[in-house]
Amino acid sequence: MPDADILLTVDKLNKSYGPLAVLKDVSFSLRRGERIALIGPSGSGKSTCLRAINFLEQPTSGDIRIDGQLIGRHANGRRMTDAELAPQRAEIGMVFQHFHLWPHLSVEANVALQPRKVRGLAAERAAELAAGLLAKVHLAHKAGDMPSRLSGGQQQRVAIARALAQQPKLLLFDEPTSALDPELVGEVLNVIKELAGEGRSMLLVTHEIAFAREVADRIIFMDGGRIVEEGPARQVLDHPREARLRQFLSSLSKEEARP
Ligand code: ADP
Ligand code: MG
């Protein structure tokens, strides 16, 4: 059953909040090096799906596996403690809509924090690692600044460097540009494109359809907590089969056309 090419498997994932079923039998897999864009209307369950993948939300049922390893639960079904989960979470880097940088730490210290605390790197080695990652997101010159001095686009690039510092196998992005002023969106998308060019495995929630077309191998469209359609990016975007997807895509293009 385990396929060496498969990095992430989501199998019959369900999540309910009380009586509200938010994810309904969501199943898909992501191959090593693959980039999947998760799209869908607001409230369709995209963020919950991402959060369940690294157990920021505990699934009501279903299995998540990275490299064949069950996330969040032992084979006997017992839920892992946060300490047991920490090394699994380190394999999954997450970038949120809001950057959540530590305001009292320099940019470099924000990036170096996880490698020091979780991987136990010496301060000097962690600082070196952070400097390299800040160069990768084109912010080497901001290493010593406090986050509040940076623009939103720069802060989000620091958040990306921080996610990379975990040396994750998989990157999750949840609408990484939707809190940004329009003129700052491009610099963040460019950094994500560069990471895609390195063959990193990623699952991205985005409303930027042109970006999804360019960067994603595959697109998954969710509505009402279910996967409604999925397939190669161009096929899904240019020849949508499902009426709900056609409706969603035309609502987005109307939004873009608005002055
Ligand atoms: P999306 O990211 O696609 O906009 P979400 O995953 O954020 O959707 O939310 C899906 C649904 O789950 C929404 O109806 C939302 O109100 C509900 N929801 C999300 N988080 C919670 C929570 N902690 N408690 C109750 N309902 C929630
Ligand atoms: Mg969301």
pLDDT at 257 over 70: no
Q: Whose CA is nearest to atom 12 of ligand 1?
A: 22
The finding on whether 22 has its CB within 6 A of some atom of ligand 1 is yes
Q: Whose CA is nearest to atom 14 of ligand 1?
A: 43
99: confidence class by pLDDT, cuts 50, 70, 90: confident
Q: Whose CA is nearest to atom 5 of ligand 1?
A: 45
Ligand 1 nearest-atom number relative to CA 41: 3
CA-to-CA distance for 152 and 243, rounded, in angstroms? 36
Average the pLDDT over 64-90 and give the result.
91
Ligand 1 nearest-atom number relative to CA 23: 10
The finding on whether 206 has its CB within 6 A of some atom of ligand 1 is no
CA-to-CA distance for 77 and 119, rounded, in angstroms? 27
Where are the extended beta strands (E) located within the chain? 6-17, 20-31, 35-39, 61-66, 69-70, 92-95, 170-174, 201-205, 218-223, 226-232
Ligand 1 nearest-atom number relative to CA 42: 4
Average the pLDDT over 190-194 and give the result.
96
What is 55-103 written as a DSSP string? TSS--SEEEEEETTEESSB-TTSPBPPHHHHHHHHTTEEEE-SS----T
Ligand 1 nearest-atom number relative to CA 45: 6
The finding on whether 156 has its CB within 6 A of some atom of ligand 1 is no
Average the pLDDT over 175-183 and give the result.
93
The radius of gyration computed from the CA coordinates of the chain, to the nearest angstrom, equals 18
> Which numbered ligand comes closest to the C-alpha of 42?
1
Structure confidence at residue 2 (pLDDT): 59
The finding on whether 2 has its CB within 6 A of some atom of ligand 1 is no
Among 48, 204, 226, residue to substitute to test ligand 1 (most atoms within 8 Å of Cβ): 48
**Comparing C-alpha atoms, which of 251, 109, 136 is closest to residue 192?**
136
Structure confidence at residue 119 (pLDDT): 84
253: confidence class by pLDDT, cuts 50, 70, 90: confident
Average the pLDDT over 10-20 and give the result.
97
Contact 150, 107 (CB under 8 A): yes
Contact 85, 55 (CB under 8 A): yes
3: confidence class by pLDDT, cuts 50, 70, 90: confident
54: CA distance to ligand 2 center in Å? 15
Order the strands of the 69-70 sheet from edge to edge: 20-31, 6-17, 61-66, 69-70
pLDDT at 259 over 70: no
Average the pLDDT over 71-77 and give the result.
89
45: CA distance to ligand 1 center in Å? 6
Q: Mean pLDDT for the chain?
A: 94
Structure confidence at residue 1 (pLDDT): 53
